[in-house]
Structure 1
Amino acid sequence: MSNVSYSAPPGIRYVQYESSKEAEYVPKIRQLISKDLSEPYSIYVYRYFLYQWGNLCFMAMDDKDNLAGVVVSKLEPHRGGPLRGYIAMLATKESYRGNGIATALVRMALDAMIARNADEVALETEETNSAAMKLYERLGFLRSKKLHRYYLNGNSAYRLVLYLKEGVGMIPTYDPYADLPPSAEPLVDIEKNNPNQ
Structure 2
Amino acid sequence: MDQDVSEAVLVEKNLFPSIGETDLVDKNHSAYQKEAVLEDKTKDNQKSGEEQQFTFCEFHDESQLKVLQSLIDKELSEPYSIYTYRYFVYNWPDLCFFALDGDRFVGVIVCKMEETMEGVQIGYIAMLAVEVEYRKRGIGKALSEMAIETMAMKDAAMISLETELTNKPALALYQSLGFIRERRLLRYYMNGVDAFRLKLVLHDSSMLPLSED
Q: TM-score, normalised by structure 1?
A: 0.80
Q: CA deviation at 1:77?
A: 1.5
Is the Cα contact below 8 Å between 1:32 and 1:91 reproduced in 2?
yes
Distance 1:71 1:13 in 2: 14
Q: Kindly indicate whether the alpha-carbon contact (under 8 Å) linking 1:85 and 1:121 is maintained by their aligned counterparts in 2.
A: yes
Aligned to 2:188, the other structure's residue is in SS state: coil
Q: How far 1:173 sits from its partner (Å)? A: 3.7
The answer to whether the Cα contact below 8 Å between 1:79 and 1:173 also exists between their aligned partners in 2 is no
Unaligned 5+ residue runs, structure 2? 1-13, 17-29, 39-50
Alignment-derived partner of residue 207 in structure 2: 171
Match of residue 35, structure 1, among 68, 74, 78: 74
Provide the rounded CA distance (Å) in 2 between the counterparts of 1:98 and 1:79: 40
**1:102 equivalenced with 2:144 (yes/no):** no
The reply on whether 1:18 has 2:64 as its aligned counterpart is no
Relative contact order: is structure 1 or structure 2 higher (C-alpha 8 Å, sep ≥ 6)?
2
Give a deviation string over 1:145-190, Cα, whole Å, max 9, x none. Answer: 100100011111000000000x41x326489xxxxxxxxxxxxxxx
> In the alignment, is the contact (CA less than 8 A) between 1:60 and 1:70 conserved in 2?
yes
Q: CA deviation at 1:138?
A: 0.3
Identity %: 42
Q: 1:18 offset after TM fit, Å?
A: 1.1
Q: Name the aligned partner's letter for residue 144 of structure 2.
A: V
- CA–CA separation in structure 1 for the residues paired with 2:65 and 2:159: 24
Rounded to whole Å, the distance in 1 between the matches of 2:127 and 2:191 is 17
In the alignment, is the contact (CA less than 8 A) between 2:37 and 2:54 conserved in 1?
no
* Dislocated runs of 4+, deviation >2 Å: 1-9, 78-82, 170-175
Equivalent residue for 2:88? 49
The structure where helix makes up a greater share of residues is 1
Structure 2 residue aligned with 1:93:
131
Distance verdict in 2 for CA 1:103–1:111, change over 3 Å: same
Provide the rounded CA distance (Å) in 1 between the counterparts of 2:147 and 2:128: 11
How far residue 81 of structure 1 moved from its aligned partner, in angstroms, is 5.8
2:8: which partner in 1?
A: none
Gaps of 5+ in 1: 176-197
Instruction: Give the letter for the 1:171 counterpart.
Output: M
Please give the alpha-carbon distance, in whole angstroms, between the structure 2 residues aligned to 1:49 and 1:2. 26
Residues 43, 2 of structure 1: alpha-carbon distance in 2 compared, 3 angstrom cutoff: farther
**In 2, Cα distance between equivalents of 1:128 and 1:82:** 32
**Structure 2 counterpart SS, 1:121:** strand
Shift of 1:79: 5.4
CA RMSD between the two structures:
2.0
Q: Distance in 1 between matches of 2:106 and 2:172?
A: 20
